[in-house]
Chain A
Amino acid sequence: MPPKPVRPATLSDRWQLRAPERQLLSWALVAIALGFLMLLGAGPKDGYAVRWFDLLPLLTLAASFGAAHLVLTALGFRGDQLILAATALLCGVGLLAQYRMGVFIGDAVDPITYLILPGGVALMTAAVAMAMDGRYRVLAPALWFWALLSLGLIGLLLTTGQRFRGGVYAAGFITPTEPLKLTVVLFAAAFVDRHVKALSKWPGAIPYPPPRTLWPLLAFFGMLLGLLLWQRDLGMIAILSLALLALLLAGTRQPGYLIYSALIAGIGGYVLLAFFSHSQRRIAAWADPFQDPTGGGWQILQGLSGMYAGGLWGEGFGQARPRYTPIAESDFIYAVIAEELGFAGSILLVGFFLLLFARLFGIAARARSSFGMLTATGIATVFATQTFLNVGGVTKFIPLTGITLPFISHGGSSLLTAFLSLGLVLAISDGEPKPVKKKTAARTSAGAPARRRRARRTSSAAARG
């Protein structure tokens, strides 16, 4: 094993350390700048003269990620060097697509629109600064805080929200449930981390998970999914359930969870189909969109028509007419990109997504603490599931769930949550201050002693039962 690099002390060493990140980030920004030029070029033909002010989104993007890179350098951050560049590229493509859809054009652009991206990057950087060097482990003992926060968020939505297009949205179309993707992962990671021994032991002739340990988790999830079901947010249900399953599998290495989950998912899916007309319609529109081409199948077919029109190479940014696809700027942004950049462009985009996921899972695989490993696994699963549900839905590979594409779709709370999660994984990749043993990592360095004792008691009790 090579010697573990300690944090470089001098600023020039730190500058040297982050050189690969700088190189990749620069090229990512070059790519986006080229795309932006292409976009601006389409303006004058439609009778719209380009002004200096139109460069603002590009400059904001470059400045945000540049600043994030400088802060990480100054901190002597030792962690991952690819994620920042990959994220910058994805956000850049998203920015291009949104600019193209007219999010930034017109006199009535909400100034918040310009602030979401820098705000998100700042949030990510702050999260790295606060949680790096092993400090992220303070999040583990706050187990029930995350649970209560999660339920509180849905409660907030259900009390203030209004129905629109089959789902519930809070005032101003902010979706307060987006942070669930982080808080639920944190809760589940902390829970599995605390009870990992008991959860791994499946006694008895017919193997089943230990109910005495598992029930708080199941009760919480039952409540959570029930509330989400009321809200008809099937996409969120899929994302969170898969994240929980991934956590259980990664923590306990017990394949039985997979079998039981498949059973529950099968029964749950059947019940959903039998009782929810909303999901029945979605399934019908997916199975045969030509049954009702101008109704239920309209959106998906318009998206596919655009893709077909784009062909292999696409028409180029600003050339196609993606506006004919309904709500293209949020859920169907992938169709816009596939239309304008062609199939080649969508392969590359998916490639960068896969790079990001591989990196997140890689960090999970190498994390020193078990809590870090679980958190990274959960967040990586959330990203991968969300991306797959969106891309698969838009391409009619799977039924449409109506969720956003991470970093690319237009949406505030979704983007902020994604950046915060990313910051946390980046912090985990920074490693611990000094080598610690894997299994006790979470318990020895952080958390109040009282909580630690209680945790031990619970796990030993479970082991006895």
Chain B
Amino acid sequence: MDLLNSLFLSAPWAVLRAGLHFAFLLVLVYLLKQVFDLRTVTGLRHLAKPRAGFNLAVVGIGALFVGALAYQATWQLSGTSRQQFVAFMQSHDRRQFNPAHWIERGRILDHRGRVLAESREVASPSASPSTGRSQLGDARRISTEVQRYYPLGPGFAHVVGYAHPRFGTSGMEAAGNVSLNGGTPENWLEWGELGRQLVTRDKRAKGRDLVLTLDADLQALAYQRLGGRPGAIVMLVPGDGAVRVMTSSPSFDPNLLDGDLFGGHDPAARLLNRATAGLYPPGSTFKVVLAAQSLDAGQQPVLQCPADGFTTSKRYPKIRDHEYYSARRSGKVWRGFGRIGLGRALAKSSNVYFAQLGVQQGHDAFHRTLDRFAFNSRVVLTDGLSSRQLMRTGPVPRIARSDQYGLAQASIGQGKVLTTPAHMALITAAIANGGLAMRPRLTAAEPAEGLARFMTANTARRLAAMMRRVVTEGTARGIDVPELAIAGKTGTAQNPIGEAHSWFIGFAPAGRPRLAVAVMVEHAGYGSAVAAPIAQELLLLAQERGLLQ
């Protein structure tokens, strides 16, 4: 027996085993031949003459089995002609020797060709858990295994996603699965070539690279500046909808997936893409929507804004301005803005002004505006053959006609108004693009297409100028720098859970915008203090890298 064991471990065993395999099949064939040769001896002649019809039954059954075998061959031998099947095996089959893994999955690149995901061959000791009686020493096989590697890690995990043998695929790895695996079904020649390469193994079969619109430097900086705080940053090119940054924090390392992430057990919700699916009150950043509504209606009313605030009914607490509270905290008395127009109200982010404005313009105008700004819908970011990536836009329920106070609250981006960071970025990009919102897209190969006109070009121009004033003389004065004309709007969104969310939306250069950005940091306080500096830093880096040319 020891002899046998040492034989099994010796080098020639591999050859011998292949020989045995062949001999086994050969003996089976030989056995069938013998059955055929012995047919005269084994003919059961001592019984009656055969009845008619039974041969027919045997032939019929034979035909059924031949059909099943032929169908089996379409999977077993020419499985590559089924693109979904190849994709399934690549993401879910743990058999290392499966030829499908021999296909080198295409890389995922940013718009400048920096690698965001690639497949690497790594040497791995074969998974052979040592059973108790492993007296044969550590006879570990070294085999190569293809692993997906994400050089830039967590900051890109939500958009790029992961392709893992156990956990499947997500993000762009899922949406671009088919093309990454090497082709499209309409190209039969290419599939045949792929199948041939897999069988003969003369050349490593390769999938296609997928080029994204992301900018690796900007995205890395964005994720780093969030610093693990829950939040999200989205940056778009207003003119063509290209997504330069889409990051969500806290994130996970796609190189080290573990089961704790899945099944809703993770209290930090690291899998959630806060940029596209996180719902937050927009706070004062929403005032740009109200401003657009007013400008589109051709109105720039001058309204009396008392320091004491505004309410629709005595039963409800008054909506007041930020200055009122800070004066009261320091024991002073604030005299209020008095009579101000739209531009100054936006620059100073006057709650009293916008609450009054919203109520004045009424429910119908408000909901028409929401429809124009694509609230309550989903926008397709990438449409893959097997899956697609969507972004949510803010869900806002219909505000009852009798609910004046609800309308006043909604007009300053509180109450029933919720939105996603990606949606706010889209709105900002529309303002920067003359009122036309371009559909955000993640793959560079996709053509730019319009999504909807959020406002007239005239409105957009005037609103852009007002947003520039926010930075030069308003709430975002802190981020004004001489070398770059940034326009924007801060937001400090009250929420029932904790401290206010810090928001900033903006674009640059103000005169001919090249990038629009939305920054949201959960429970971080004033938008001017936390979100705005991050946006400024990102835009300055973009300028340095020539992205604002």
Contacts and interface: CB of A to CB of B under 8 A. Distances in A.
B13 interface: yes
A320 interface: yes
A253 B35 contact: no
Contact of A354 (B61, B130, B134): B61
Given A51-B1, A307-B75, A350-B65, A438 B54 contact: no
Given A23-B34, A355-B32, A48 B76 contact: no
Given A345-B25, A355-B35, A311 B99 contact: yes
A31 interface: yes
Interface string B494-516: 00000000000000000000000
Contacts of B48: 366-368, 438
B79 interface: yes
Contacts of B72: 307, 338, 343, 346, 395, 397
A78 B58 CA distance: 23
Interface stretch (B84-92, B184-192, B291-299, B302-310): B84-92
B325 interface: no
Contacts of B261: none
A313 B76 contact: no
A366 B4 CA distance: 49
A31 B98 contact: no
A355 to B, nearest CB: 6
B13 A41 contact: yes
Interface stretch (A180-188, A273-281, A384-392): A384-392
A165 B128 CA distance: 30
Interface in A95-123: none
Contacts of A5: 45-46
A368 B93 contact: no
Contact of A365 (B17, B21, B51, B71): B51
B8 A45 contact: yes
Contacts of B4: 40, 50
B258 to A, nearest CB: 18
B229 to A, nearest CB: 33
A308 B88 CA distance: 12
Nearest to A41: B8
Interface in A29-56: 30-31, 34-35, 37-38, 40-52
Contacts of A391: 65, 68
A302 B54 CA distance: 37
B128 A47 contact: yes
Which interface residue of A307, A308, A398 has the most chain B CB atoms within 10 A?
A: A308
Interface range on chain B (Cβ under 8 Å from partner): 35 or more
Nearest to A344: B25
Given A38-B17, A302-B92, A308-B75, A31 B68 contact: no
Nearest to A342: B76
Contacts of A346: 69, 72, 76
Given A31-B28, A338-B72, A81 B42 contact: yes
Contacts of B55: 361, 365
B135 A396 contact: no
B38 A24 contact: yes
B95 interface: yes
B314 interface: no
A260 interface: no
**A-side interface mostly:** helix
A79 B44 contact: yes
A429 B34 CA distance: 21
Nearest to A355: B35
Contacts of B30: 27
B89 A305 contact: yes
A27 B34 contact: yes
Interface in B129-152: 130-131, 133-136, 139, 141
Interface in A306-344: 306-317, 319-321, 324, 338, 341-344
A20 interface: yes
A79 B43 CA distance: 10
A293 interface: yes
Interface string B20-35: 1101110111111011
Contact of A45 (B1, B9, B88, B100): B9
B73 interface: yes
A344 to B, nearest CB: 6
Nearest to B1: A52
B75 A28 contact: no
B21 to A, nearest CB: 4
B168 interface: yes
A47 B5 contact: no
Contacts of A246: 57
B50 interface: yes
A228 to B, nearest CB: 23
B84 A290 contact: yes
A338 to B, nearest CB: 6
B79 A308 contact: yes
Interface of B: 1, 4-5, 7-9, 13, 16-18, 20-21, 23-25, 27-32, 34-35, 38, 41-42, 44-51, 53-55, 57-58, 61-62, 64-65, 67-69, 71-73, 75-77, 79, 84-85, 88-89, 92-100, 128, 130-131, 133-136, 139, 141, 168, 199
Given A81-B41, A290-B88, A397-B67, 10 more contacts: A1-B49, A47-B128, A47-B136, A250-B53, A305-B85, A307-B75, A309-B100, A324-B94, A361-B54, A438-B48
Give the top 4 A-B pairs by smallest Cβ distance, nearest first: A47-B134, A365-B54, A366-B47, A309-B98
9 contacts: A27-B34, A31-B24, A41-B16, A44-B8, A294-B92, A338-B72, A365-B53, A384-B61, A388-B65
